Amino acid sequence: MQNQLDSLRQYTTVVADTGDFETMREHRPTDATTNPSLILKAVQKDAYRHLLDRVLADHAGAPLGEIVDRLLIAFGKEILAIVPGRVSTEVDARLSFDTQATIARAHQIMGLYRAAGIARERILIKIASTWEGIQAAKALQAEGIACNLTLLFSLPQALACAQARVQLISPFVGRIYDWHKKAAGGQWDEAANAGVNDPGVQSVKRIYDYYKAHGIATEVMGASFRNLGQIQALAGCDLLTISPELLA
């Protein structure tokens, strides 16, 4: 008997939003997304501690930024041995308002993957959708380095990403939902704002519909989910990146 996750696969590319290899083996996503907080969570588990220990041993004395990037690549390499598609690896968020520094860090990440024997087609460089981040992505895409623009909350950001010809955007659902719920306070009606009426869902649908109506090739990957209803309401989006709890 088919479960909800298998049904979702018929309409949408399923992506795992985690650094947990066992979750990926169990739920068989096509792609995976990571970020430093997810990797931090993973290395606190005994099963993954050896990756951190190996990086620290092999690169003792290296600057912290390099250690972090090498750890992200170590996880990325392991992930790509499990998923058939791509992994998103994030540029340090502190560089989000510095175009040139973002480009330099992306080159460093790609160089580490290249040294590990990973084809560039399997990597998405994850960058915040600030104006500076979008300009960095534009330059990287022109070089053939595919980018995933994250922390995206609005159609204007999505349009700027489309103009930059980025590979993929990750419009957030949950944080928009959180904002509206907090702003409404005691007036919030959960049932009335669920599913297709969820303000975060509506934001992603607006972006997706605009892209498709105007023939924009940039992929749309819904992200930052709080509940199953948000995922179900966005079935049919190009991709959806989902936490282990909601994948289960």
Domain ranges of the chain: 4-247
What confidence tens digit (pLDDT) does each residue in 120-141 have?
Answer: 999 999 999 999 999 999 999 9
pLDDT score at 65: 87
pLDDT score at 235: 97
Contacts of 116 (CB under 8 A, 6+ apart): 73, 77
pLDDT score at 240: 98
What confidence tens digit (pLDDT) does each residue in 168-223 have?
Answer: 999 999 999 999 999 999 999 999 999 999 999 999 999 999 999 999 999 999 99
Task: Tell me the three-class secondary structure of the chain, residue by residue.
Answer: CCCHHHHHHCCCEEEEECCCHHHHHHHCCCEEECCHHHHHHHHCCCCCHHHHHHHHHHCCCCCHHHHHHHHHHHHHHHHHCCCCCCEEEECCHHHCCCHHHHHHHHHHHHHHHHHCCCCHHHEEEEEECCHHHHHHHHHHHHCCCCEEEEEECCHHHHHHHHHCCCCEEEEECHHHHHHHHHHHHHHCCCHHHCHHHCHHHHHHHHHHHHHHHCCCCCEEEEECCCCHHHHHHCCCCCEEEECHHHHC
Mean pLDDT of 21-39: 93
Give 4-247's CATH code, choosing from 3.40.1370.10, 3.40.190.10, 3.20.20.70, 3.30.70.890. 3.20.20.70
Candidates 41, 45, 77, 126; catalytic one: 126
Residue 205 among the catalytic residues: no
What confidence tens digit (pLDDT) does each residue in 161-174 have?
Answer: 999 999 999 999 99
What confidence tens digit (pLDDT) does each residue in 137-153 have?
Answer: 999 999 999 999 999 99
pLDDT score at 36: 86
Whether 43 has a pLDDT exceeding 90, the answer reads no
pLDDT score at 80: 97
Q: What CA–CA distance (Å, rounded) separates 155 from 138?
A: 18
pLDDT score at 75: 95
Mean pLDDT of 58-87: 94
Whether 1 has a pLDDT exceeding 80, the answer reads no
Cα–Cα nearest to 50, from 78, 29, 23: 78
Mean pLDDT of 79-95: 97
Q: What CA–CA distance (Å, rounded) separates 147 from 166?
A: 6
pLDDT score at 2: 82
Mean pLDDT of 48-65: 92
